[in-house]
Amino acid sequence: MTDDARRAQATRLRAERERRGWGVRRMARFLHDAVDDHQKPEVSSFVTYIKRWESGGVELTDARYRAAYARVFDFPEADLFGSVPAVEVPTTTRFPSDPDERERLVMAARNPARVDGAVVDSVAATLAGQRRIEDLLGAKAVIGAATENLALMLRLLKETRGLKARTLAYTASDAAQFVGWLNTAVGNHDRASTLYDQALRLGMQAQDDDRAATALSMRGHLAWVTGDVSDMASLSEAAAGLATAPATRTVAIQQSGRALAIMGEKQEALRAVGRAEESLSRGGSGDPDGLYFYGAEYLTAQRGLILAYLAEEPAEYAAAADTISTGLDALPPDVRQSAWVAAHRVRVAATLLASGEVSGAVAILRAALRVISRTGDQKGMEEITRTYRTMSARFPHEPDVIELGDALRAGTAVC
């Protein structure tokens, strides 16, 4: 298969998944169940496979998995994997492009009693598309449309009963968490706090412990952003205690460990690292679809952040920076271009700087600056500026540092 054909296959598989509003983890569960083989891999392995297939880095050649895809999508295998034109990834931020789906949403909004599975799938698909747009363009590009989508879900939910209400609450919890994340990114911290509380209530309404745990964990992240480390620790521990899905639980434990590291509780923080590794090794499934980046790669990066806070010697800082970078570099290509990954790159630069590696730190800051300038991430730009000031105070005459300062003052990311 040529590179172009492999990329077309990747785009088609991803587009078909996102058109249905399915996250990677939900798709992994469907594929796992559809594979007719008692020796098939665990669901967590399918998560990794899907990311590779959808990135275009690996061609899907296994006949078992091709057949499973066709069954899950209810799509002829020959068309799905043949040489038909690639399906474009949906880019709408407000309503689905299909006229029938748009009409169904409008009618449901006017008459919530008409809510059916197709309506729930439509708002979920819109949410999935908005997440991808935010990865590429930043929070400001999508926050208005995402807020509208959440408002529509909440309006429909008021008039929906039974199993449909639970399913809609499940998706609305994801949407509230996402809009909370967007508000955090643009600095609307009070609004973000309210939205995370709403996500928690909706997760409980959906009777989904992992969605409720995710809301608590994101509330802990907000506490980190605002400097309330004590709340960060307690909220993260609460999330870890509630979560049952492996990645959701592991990230909450790691976030708790990061809070302990910030507070100087070295042994407790190291124990949290061990608990997180143990949690992840147990395996399992059930992580919320919106947490498509909560894989082993992300968890590696988070472990590196803890080690960075605990580091005392140059070699320890260098090792922590390498661990963060290893995790980030293993993420899918499209995710690596997101603002939140760029913010993690700034952490790598600051950690490298603490090890005495100036040129490497500058190069990483420049790369992060290009992404953050494109996405307009306020928190990320503040982190870059803070790291540059530390760098400039320590190495004021380094040519690379001087050039970086010129770029920042000019408001440009030109290398």
Instruction: Tell me how far CA of residue 24 lies from CA of 162, 220, 313, 356, 387, in angstroms.
Output: 27, 24, 39, 39, 34
Q: pLDDT at position 351, please?
A: 96
Query: Which pLDDT score is estimated for 115?
Result: 59
How much is the average pLDDT of 297-311? 89
pLDDT digits (tens, 9 = 90+) for 307-319: 999 999 999 999 9
The pTM assigned to this predicted structure is: 0.67
pLDDT at 163 over 90: no
Q: Does the pLDDT of residue 74 top 60, yes or no?
A: yes
Please give the pLDDT value at position 93: 43
Q: Are 324 and 299 in contact (CB under 8 A)?
A: no
Torsion of CA 327, 328, 334, 340, to 10 degrees: 130
Does the pLDDT value for residue 54 go beyond 80? yes
The pLDDT of residue 116 is 60
Q: Which of the four pLDDT bands, split at 50, 70 and 90, describes residue 92?
A: very low
User: How does pLDDT run across 325-375, given as a tens digit for each residue?
Assistant: 999 998 887 778 888 899 899 999 999 999 999 999 999 999 998 888 887
pLDDT of residue 89: 38
Contact present, 176 and 150 (Cβ < 8 Å) = yes
